[in-house]
Amino acid sequence: MTIPMEALMHKKANFERDTERYHDFREELLNLADSGEIMLQRITGETAEVPTKYGRMKRIQKGHLWHHKSCGQCGHIPGYSTSIFWVMRKLGYDSLDPKDQTSCTAWNYYASATSNAAAQAAVAVRNFAAAHETGYYPMIHCGTSYGHYKEVRHELMAHPELRREVREVMKKLGKQLVLPEEIVHYSEWFHAMRHEIAAKQTRDFSNIAVTVHPACHYYKLVEGDAIYDPDVYGGQRTAVVTALAESLGAEVRNYSTWFDCCGFGFRHILVQRDFTRSFATLRKIERMKEEADPDVVLTHDTGCVTTLDKSQFATQAHGRNVGIAVMSEAQFAALAMGAHPYKVCQLHWHSADYRPLLEKMGIDHEQAWAEFQADLARLERGEKRYLDWDDVDA
């Protein structure tokens, strides 16, 4: 039996936020900056404002952004990263893709626990300091990095002894304890920019049905800082991804297990994958298929795309009711804006069959694949060492 969502949403239609419920950290952050305990990186230039869970407005800097990349995206779903870059370029906002960046290393923290609070805070602050040195404002690609950095910010604000320890480590690196005014996830940028993205849409998505998997580390860790909008699910779920998909004209369909995690589990996806695969397919993909039958699952974090996408192959062999394309909303938005499915969105790195979706989007995937192969042939002939942004738009 599925949850009677419409009845629930109707009951909650008059929901009002309690703005006093969630402590606004910014005043404390400013006090720490004023007293010289931390260096605060300010938001500059053009911004958009979006509401958070308890009503606080969060400012999102539109351009001059420092891409804090995701190791999982760059390593295994590179079209996730390139779609973020591509959309930003198409909208005319400048950004920096730095080499002076490590991952948040939270895989160590959450999976193997071979780290500690001071090390994790120092890694975060080192990246923030690196961004600050360039003048570009950090935008975090990974949901886990984003959630973990918010935890780190909380720990640094709450514990003077931790601040002292991290400051000492930073001193050895010749850096300061830098924190940004807001910690911003890329999906918040896409949410804030959804109307600008929709204005550049070239493909019709009105016949595309999607389900949304909200990423746990985006909205469950330090939850008050995530984006919620009264007009999206009555403010009961995060608005990112869903509002963007709706802005692009897609039909967002509901399903009962939206709150469930994807099953990633950090260590489980590598060493206990039977758990990951079972949870991802039995609790998520099969439920979506049965209750919503979408063309694609959209999500906004590295592990979720990997888990939901990769878990379907073996499950399909058992005759289960799976088989839904999976991608990030960044790739979905890029496709809406006319991006090449292979050169930009790199869908050949995905496992669940995305070709029926491309056909519904009006994309000739066989021709697109031939175009990509022609580019690869140029690389093989030695005409170029690498493809670049001009090539992907050719």
Partner 1 sequence: MTQSSAIYKVPDVAGHTDVSYEEKARLFAEVKSDVRFSDYLYGCYECGICVAACPSARFYDFSPRRIAQAAAREDVELIYQQMQEDIWECSQCFSCLRCPRGNNPGGIITIMREVSINNGLNSAKEALGGYSRIIYKIMSTGTQVSPDMLQPDAFPDWGPETGDVSNNLDLWRRALPSDTLHTTSTGWDVSERTLVELYLIWFHTGALSMIKDVDSGLHAILQEIMEERLEDEGIEL
Residues 1-20 contacting partner 1, CB under 8 A: none
Going by the DSSP 8-state scheme, the letter that residue 280 receives in this structure is: I
User: Which one, 196 or 371, has the nearer CB to partner 1?
Assistant: 371
Radius of gyration of the chain (CA): 21
Kindly indicate which of the ranges 81-89, 186-194, 235-243, 245-253 contains the residues binding partner 1, using the contact rule CB under 8 A: 81-89
By CB under 8 A, the count of residues binding partner 1 is 96
For partner 1, the binding residue among 116, 164, 204, 362 (CB under 8 A) is 116
Residues 332-361 that bind partner 1 (CB under 8 A): 343-344, 346, 348-351
Contacts with partner 1, 251-280, as mask; x by CB under 8 A: --------xxx-xxxxxx-xx-x-x-xxx-
Tokens of residue 366, six digits:
């066989």
Partner residues linked to 67 by β-bridges: 139
CA 317 distance to own-chain centroid: 30
User: Which one, 177 or 250, has the nearer CB to partner 1?
Assistant: 177
Tokens of residue 151, six digits:
């935890």
Report how far residue 49's alpha carbon sits from residue 164's, in angstroms, rounded to the nearest whole number: 33
Q: Which residues contact 130 (CB under 8 A, 6 or more apart)?
A: 66, 98, 100, 101, 175
Nearest distance in Å: CB 368, partner 1: 13
Q: What are phi and psi of 84, to 5 degrees?
A: -60, -50
User: Which one, 251 or 349, has the nearer CB to partner 1?
Assistant: 349
Beta strands in 169-230 (DSSP E): 178-180, 209-213
User: Which one, 205 or 255, has the nearer CB to partner 1?
Assistant: 255
What does 331-347 look like in DSSP terms, one character per residue? HHHHHHTT--TTTTS-G
Distances (CA, A) of 116 to 2, 122, 123, 152, 348: 41, 10, 11, 11, 37
* Residues 138, 184 contacting (CB under 8 angstroms): yes
Tokens of residue 126, six digits:
């080192």
Kindly indicate which of the ranges 150-158, 230-238, 241-249, 330-338 contains the residues binding partner 1, using the contact rule CB under 8 A: 150-158
Report how far residue 377's alpha carbon sits from residue 384's, in angstroms, rounded to the nearest whole number: 10
User: Which one, 130 or 252, has the nearer CB to partner 1?
Assistant: 130
For partner 1, the binding residue among 8, 30, 173, 370 (CB under 8 A) is 173
Contacts with partner 1, 19-58, as mask; x by CB under 8 A: ----------------------------------------
For partner 1, the binding residue among 119, 198, 209, 368 (CB under 8 A) is 119
Residues 200-229 that bind partner 1 (CB under 8 A): 216-217, 220-221, 223
Kindly indicate which of the ranges 37-45, 169-177, 239-247, 323-331 contains the residues binding partner 1, using the contact rule CB under 8 A: 169-177
User: Which one, 188 or 375, has the nearer CB to partner 1?
Assistant: 375
